[in-house]
Structure 1
């Protein structure tokens, strides 16, 4: 059964993750891990490694600030704020996105299921040149 150390290891891993260290995924994830976020559904550690390598290819910086952690049995929930810099988003300025990770751990303390919840518009769409203007306008109109 996982413990606080498994959750801490997961959080620390994400603050070290970049395009050069995806080969260390085996320390945190099981071979058959299932990963979901608002934009992707990925099965297997090998596919997850390719996804992270591609995602981090142009990211200049990515840092997580962790807030609340809840754990019960093999389940854990971690709230976070991610700040990243990508040269093609927000004119290269930092983008901040709040989110939550729902994790299921295997008996050995590695993650077997990982689901991220966040606003995909706040992360990506709002920072694209044309689409961003439309989304910001719509949000303004709805408020």
Structure 2
């Protein structure tokens, strides 16, 4: 406990100094989202139930085989994908990201809780469960989130924006950042 307190006392001034030098913005995240949402150049359509089920199945579980066999059917070649950890703009880069993610995880699944269809968009509310090893210990991360999806006429996702709290899902498990994240959340 004393080492945690000492770490926080030493680290907080460094973090606050870093925050004081942060530019006012814009940071690009919001601008990229709005730009792609408004000027994607593709016609969005509501997917049928089979197409949406195929998307959900792609992530259950997320593994090398599903990615390799299914990504061309699930995602358009010119996809905008933001899972709050990375932004990619094409299927090839997305495939590399998903394969690297699957490599780092022991297991990951997505449990759909609700689907909201709104005009040209689908909002999928989910619980994500990820098992991974960190410093030789198996960890479990369960978090809730929402995916904003837009599908093209071929039933492929060309816009995928995830909204979830990475501090609840992943950051809390990191050696230095985790205790601070949990402390901030509790206070």
TM-score, with length taken from structure 2:
0.71
Is contact 2:61-2:110 (8 Å) kept? Answer: no
- In structure 2, the partner of 1:25 is 71
- Of structures 1 and 2, the larger Rg is shown by 2
Unmatched 5+ stretches in structure 1: none
Matched, 1:8 2:64: no
Distance 2:167 2:113 in 1: 22
Distance 1:102 1:12 in 2: 17
> What is the root-mean-square deviation of aligned Cα atoms in Å?
1.7
> Against the structure 1 CA distance between its residues 81 and 108, is the aligned structure 2 distance closer, same or farther, given a 3 Å change threshold?
same
Aligned runs of 1:1-143 on 2, under 5 Å?
Answer: 1=45, 2-23=47-68, 24-88=70-134, 91-141=137-187
Structure 1 or 2: more helix by fraction: 2
What is the aligned residue count?
Answer: 141
Greater RCO structure (CA 8 Å; 6+ sep): 1
> Against the structure 1 CA distance between its residues 126 and 81, is the aligned structure 2 distance closer, same or farther, given a 3 Å change threshold?
same
Unmatched 5+ stretches in structure 2: 1-44
> Counterpart of 1:60 in 2: which secondary structure?
strand
Moved over 3 A (4+): none
Is contact 1:98-1:118 (8 Å) kept? Answer: yes
Structure 1 or 2: more strand by fraction: 1
Distance 2:183 2:142 in 1: 19
